[in-house]
Amino acid sequence: MSGETLDIVELLLTAEVYNKYSEMDVNDLPKQIRKNYWDREKKTVPKPINVSVSDIKNIYEIEDIKSAIKSLPFVDIDELQFTVKLTAFDMGADWFKKQDGAMDRIGNNPALSFYFEKKETEGVSYESTRSKSAPKEVDREWVDSLITEIEQEEGGEDMLKLAHIEAPEDIMQTFEDIVLTDEQEDEVEKIVKAIQYREHLKTIGMYDIGKLLLIGAPGTGKTSVARAVSHRLSLPFVEVRLSMVTDQYLGETAKNIDRVFTLAKRLNPCVLFIDEFDFVAKKRTSDESAALKRAVNTLLKAIDEVSLTNDGVLLIAATNHPNMLDTAAWRRFDEVMNFPLPDMEMRKMILDRVTSDIDGDLDTEEIAQITEGYAGSDLRMVIREGVLSALMEDRKALTQDDLKKAVENFNQREIVKSDEYA
């Protein structure tokens, strides 16, 4: 049986199960089906789902639907309504279960797992399928619904201007693309567990959990880790740079800080990533203006009042200048993750990972040895330079000389950048 036929029957069965059982919610729908039927205003997939010809074309790109289902006695096309229906659900379910590849489909479809588990089908676990299925918070549609709702509120547009918001599915860089130290991996796992046991932490009264400070030189992976956390936890990513929040009127800066944290609470659950944290949270001195001190106090108070357990906001702040931070700012974070420049072993791992899909006989250990002091972003820049140089000669394969020349060019640029032209 063709994959197109199985796609159509799976969609029809899924719609019937979702419509029939009141306990079914939007997270029981496979992602592509959920995205197709999403209602932005209602922030869900309303029941009942009625499968149309256009739905099948949109979801699966199937054009000749009649041919795909012509041999199925339990499927009917309504030519007037342009809808497709099951005329005998039980017959369709029995047929579907017997097809090659059906069990894999059921194992990735919570709605079907729910139904076939009720039918005591061997090897089917609704709980297992549901736990590994991506929730609605992953989808761009979910985030767009929240943004639309906020836009319609008084002051909503002002809040949205202060942040860049991404859905987890839009984040391309994951932990598979990042090289971490053992200590960094432990910190990430703590975050994962805190999210996983959020209700437990709330029950035992642990509210000061989920505030992480990332410190390290530029290019060492702070932003990449924050984004990867968002992807790993399937949480929307709300990025704010404090330099963009600062207003020429210092009194407005304090209001902008409040707006940022209010926005994060409205988008919960989410990751609130505050970059350039030191831009506002600087050490306070006696000669500063009252407005500037008020902005710092507002930021510290906002951090105190946001909570992972209560508000569903995971706060991650990053700074390249930890020595500039106010002492009181340090105390606001339950975890601090340090991002040192990579040692030779980590540099080799980064180079291996970045070049894994590039053709060429490369000795990454040699390159790691001659790039001491390079950040991860510097190494990626070297690879990019090598690739572009090869393409200038119409070569897709990279050579060791390409990389060594790229290192030389990078070093020369660094000399030019540091030259004071005295």
Instruction: Write down the pLDDT at residue 205.
Output: 85
> How does DSSP assign 66-110, residue by residue?
HHHHTT-TTEEEETTTTEEEES-HHHHHHHHHTSTTHHHHHHT-H
Q: Which amino acid is at 207?
A: Y
Distance between CA atoms of residues 125 and 251, nearest Å: 56
Give the tokens for residue 85: 């229906």
Give the tokens for residue 185: 């991996």
Instruction: Write down the pLDDT at residue 421.
Output: 42
pTM, rounded to two decimals: 0.86
Beta bridge partners of 76: 85
Residues 197-201: contacts with CB under 8 Å, at least 24 apart: 198/308, 198/309, 198/312, 201/308, 201/309
Distance between CA atoms of residues 81 and 339, nearest Å: 60
Give the tokens for residue 279: 């831009």
Closest C-alpha among 255, 259, 180 to residue 220: 180
Distance between CA atoms of residues 350 and 95, nearest Å: 49
Instruction: Write down the pLDDT at residue 418.
Output: 56
Give the tokens for residue 177: 């693309």
The sheet carrying 335-339 orders its strands as 164-166, 237-241, 270-275, 313-319, 211-216, 335-339
Run means of pLDDT, 10 residues per run, the chain, 422 residues: 91 98 97 96 95 95 90 88 92 95 96 97 96 93 94 90 94 89 90 87 84 94 94 94 72 87 93 91 64 83 92 94 89 92 95 93 95 94 94 94 94 66 42
Distance between CA atoms of residues 337 and 213, nearest Å: 6
Closest C-alpha among 339, 317, 319 to residue 183: 339
Beta bridge partners of 166: 237
Instruction: Write down the pLDDT at residue 286.
Output: 53
Instruction: Write down the pLDDT at residue 422.
Output: 42
What are the structural domains, with CATH classification, of the chain? 3-133 (no CATH), 138-339 (3.40.50.300), 344-418 (1.10.8.60)
